[in-house]
Amino acid sequence: MNTDVIEIRGDLSGSGAALETAERFIGYNNIKGRDAVHIRLLTEEALSLINGVMDDFKARLCIESEKTDGGLLCRIMLTADRGVDERQESRIKSVSTSGRNESARGVLGKLRELVRRSTQRSGYADANTDSWIGMGMHSNEISYVSEYYDGYWSLDSYRRQIESASEKSEEWDELERSIIANLADDVKVYFRSGSTEIVIEKLLK
C-alpha cells in the first residue's frame, strides 16, 4: 500500500494531514497495539526531522508497506528538493566557537543536519568535517533505489560502528536515548542530484 503524498513545511504546516495519513495506513494494514504506536511515533519523528531546517523549507511525505518473508515492511518516506538560495544557506549555518555544529546533537539532530546540508546547493561536500557522517555513509549498490543516486547514509551502519567501538561514547548515549534509533530498524538518507530522500524502515513481524 502507498498512501497519498502530503506536503509538509518547516513550520510543520501539513503535519495534521500527515498524522491522519498515518492513521489510515495503520487501519488499512490492520496494525494493532504496540506496532501501531510505533508507526505513529516514527511518523512524528519524521515530521520533527524537517521542523526548523530552514525558512520556507518543504518536503513530501508518504508511507508504504511491503509484504516480505520476515513480516510487513513499513517505510515512512520524506523527499526534499535541493536548491536553497545563498541567503538561506548563510542563515542556517550554526557552528559554535568550539568548531562543533550545535544543531547536530542527538540522533534526530544529526539526521536533521544531514537533510539541511544535502538540500543546499553545495550538497553534502562538507560532510567530511564531521566524523559521524562518514561512519554511516555508503556507496555500494542497493536494491531499493533503482534511479540514479550519489550515495546514502544509514543509521544501521552508524549504529554498528558505534557499537563496535572499544569504549562507550557520547554517540552511544545518544543512540540509547533516541526514539527513532530504538524504534526504527533503519533510517536511510539517499542523496540524488536534485533531491534528498529520507526513508524510515520498520519491520512488523
Distance CA 190, CA 54 (A): 19
User: Which residue has cell 562543533?
Assistant: 100
By CB neighbour count within 10 A (0-12 exposed, 13-18 middle, 19+ buried), where does 111 fall?
A: buried
In tens, the pLDDT along 85-114 reads 444 444 434 333 333 444 567 888 888 888
Kindly list the domain boundaries of the chain, sorted by start residue. Answer: 6-204
Question: What's the sign of the alpha-carbon dihedral 81, 85, 91, 94?
Answer: positive
Tens of pLDDT, residue by residue, the chain (205 residues): 999 999 998 888 999 999 999 999 999 999 999 999 999 999 999 998 888 666 678 899 999 999 999 999 999 999 988 764 444 444 434 333 333 444 567 888 888 888 877 777 555 444 444 677 778 887 554 444 445 566 788 999 999 988 887 677 788 888 999 999 999 999 998 887 778 889 999 999 9
Distance CA 67, CA 182 (A): 22
Distance CA 5, CA 77 (A): 10
Distance CA 125, CA 191 (A): 11
Give pTM, 2 decimals: 0.82
